[in-house]
Amino acid sequence: MASKLSFPFSCIVFLFLFVLPVFSHFQYPHLQPNGLLDNSTDHSPFGFLKKMQGCHKGEKLKGIRDLKLYLSHFGYLNYESNPNVTNPKEDSFDEELEAAIKSYQVYHHLNATGTLDAPTVSTMVMPRCGFPDKQTHQHSDKTLHTVSHYQFPQGTPRWPEGKRHLTYAFGSGFPTRFIPPVARAFSKWATASQYFTFSQARTYQSADIKISFARGSHGDGSPFDGQGGVLAHAFYPTNGRFHYDADESWVIGAVPNAYDVETLALHEIGHLLGLDHSQFQSAIMWGTFIAGETKGLSSDDIQGIRALYGS
């Protein structure tokens, strides 16, 4: 009799000690006792850039194609508009790539050397928002509506006139402890804009703005890349989608090696309202972030939102 009971009991023990913990890891982002979201990866998707430090025009080096893709994704490179480029996928450092790096360096207040020098690499590998710095994907800023340091994306998307109250909701499984800091971020934009008011919607489907955690490819055409690369992204009016990367470490406040939920909410809400990235490093709409830091709205952010909505 004892032998018949021992096998089912061992299965139960195995289920609770091994299977359920593994299963829970793949559920919605798992909160640790210290408030950190569980992740065990320590590899940055931008880390390949460190191996290319020092490369310059005329070189052929494995990885240059990935550098081109990086600069293209964030708005600094567009080979499609240049008929003189015959094979943009080659691992060759051409004149077009040099111009793109100079454009990146100017935008980020670096010396415009056109080479992948140490300060440029240090900036490029920083975790950041997933939206491009330049919506035109060209070297010139002529098509951007620029006032002060803040910017509006091409076409200046905005919420319809008269649509001053926006509702927001959180996806299934969104950690409840992260709802208050996101709500505070909306409140700060309401005060800053002197135009919008916000409230939590009764249902997710009815909300103007939908907020959730996601990882990898999640159906919006902008897949996340794992820990240490793109932290979050949101879409311009009137799309209303806002996603955090679940593979990052998320906390409330300034905690080493983790990212403040409210700081990133402030940034992504700026996109949801129609602001582009700012060239002012103290602005919340600056595109890169440092683990352990918290940021608030700057005068540049406030001037930008008021200029956009005439408040």
Catalytic center residues:
268
Tell how far CA 53 is from the center of its chain: 24
- Which residues define the annotated binding site? 129, 208, 218, 220, 225-226, 233, 243, 245, 248, 267, 271, 277, 285
Angle, helices 261-273 vs 179-193, to 10°: value is 40
Which residues are paired to 211 by β-bridges?
A: 170, 242
Q: How far is CA 168 from CA 19, 125, 197, 204, 271, in A?
A: 36, 32, 11, 8, 14
| Unique residue bearing structure tokens 């409210």 | 262
Angle, helices 261-273 vs 299-309, to 10°: value is 30
Taking only Cα atoms into account, the Rg of the chain, rounded to an integer number of angstroms, comes to 22
- Which residues define the annotated binding site for Zn(2+)? 129, 218, 220, 233, 243, 267, 271, 277, 285
> How buried is residue 271: exposed, middle or buried, by Cβ count under 10 Å (0-12/13-18/19+)?
buried
- Which residues define the annotated binding site for Ca(2+)? 208, 225-226, 245, 248
